Amino acid sequence: MTEQAAVYVVDDDEMSRKSVIALVSAMGVDAQGYDSAEGFLAAYQGHRPACVVTDLRMVGMSGVELQEELLGRGVRMPVIVMTAFASTQTTVRAMRNGAVTLLEKPCNENELWEAIRDALATDLETQRLEAEHADIRQKLATLSDKERSVLECMVAGDANKVTARRLDVSVRTVENHRRKIFEKMEADSLAELVRKVMAVDSGSE
């Protein structure tokens, strides 16, 4: 993970920014610094796995506003917020936006690195799930309309006879559709098939 991961340090305090970059680099992870949220957003090209370590108060866009902008763009990258001016309202807002944690400056290096390590591990797992769900959706797209109807009955737990009556087809036709569904979805069991369908239907990515 450390060879491919990246940590984006966004802080208009040069000394603080360089300190975090030095810590991350010492741990063998690529670290890139930006003196503004706007500068980071302009440069970010979608690399994953990654996380953002951002100051809360900056000239221009704040750290929490950066969080919200990333979410608005559909970028679910873990964010660690640092601040010397913590408040209950800000903390709640940052955590509701999905911040990994909010650390008070000056940060304890061990605590900061632990938060970064957890954030990168989380994003790696998120990336894996996104790829898995994309693959499932591609497989679902190969199903015919009739196969999709049979699949809905399978997920609902309907027996072949019930499915046949509901769709007004023969049991043999249902069995043939089921066989093709298993082949196209690359599922070895009904449980695996249902898990795949429920994974993408739940919207969890």
The reply to whether 97 and 178 lie within a common domain is no
- Distance CA(136)–CA(123), nearest Å, equals 20
Q: Does some domain include residue 47?
A: yes
pLDDT of residue 2: 44
The reply to whether 36 and 111 lie within a common domain is yes
Selection from 19, 21, 17 nearest residue 7 by Cα: 21
Q: Does some domain include residue 73?
A: yes
pLDDT of residue 5: 92
Question: Please, are residues 165 and 93 in contact by the beta-carbon 8 Å criterion?
Answer: no
The domain spanning residue 85 has which CATH number? 3.40.50.2300
The reply to whether 92 and 162 lie within a common domain is no
The reply to whether 188 and 159 lie within a common domain is yes
Rounded to an integer, the average pLDDT of 2-10 is: 84
Considering its fold, how many domains does the chain have in total?
2
Range of the domain at 154: 142-201
pLDDT exceeds 70 at position 148: yes
* pLDDT-derived band at 99, boundaries 50, 70, 90: confident
Rounded to an integer, the average pLDDT of 21-29 is: 94
Domain-ending residue, one of 94, 127, 160: 127
Domain-ending residue, one of 72, 97, 127: 127
Q: Percentage of the chain with pLDDT > 90?
A: 73
The reply to whether 104 and 161 lie within a common domain is no
pLDDT of residue 104: 87
- Taking every pair of C-alpha atoms in the chain, what is the biggest distance, in angstroms? 73
The reply to whether 110 and 156 lie within a common domain is no
pTM: 0.72
Q: Does some domain include residue 194?
A: yes
Higher pLDDT, 205 or 93: 93
Q: How many CB atoms lie within 10 A of CB 131?
A: 11
Q: How many CB atoms lie within 10 A of CB 142?
A: 12
Kindly list the distances between the CA atom of residue 119 and the CA atoms of 19, 79, 83, 89, 177, in Å, as whole numbers in the listed order: 19, 8, 18, 23, 43
Q: Does some domain include residue 95?
A: yes
Rounded to an integer, the average pLDDT of 153-182 is: 95
Domain-ending residue, one of 127, 152, 176: 127
- pLDDT (tens digit per residue) in 56-87: 989 999 999 999 999 999 898 999 999 887 66
pLDDT exceeds 70 at position 3: no
The reply to whether 56 and 88 lie within a common domain is yes
The reply to whether 96 and 181 lie within a common domain is no
Q: Does some domain include residue 122?
A: yes
Q: Does some domain include residue 154?
A: yes
The reply to whether 88 and 115 lie within a common domain is yes
Q: What is the mean pLDDT of the chain?
A: 90
Rounded to an integer, the average pLDDT of 94-109 is: 85
Selection from 197, 198, 179 nearest residue 188 by Cα: 179
The domain spanning residue 168 has which CATH number? 1.10.10.10
pLDDT exceeds 90 at position 94: no
Q: Does some domain include residue 1?
A: no
* pLDDT-derived band at 106, boundaries 50, 70, 90: confident
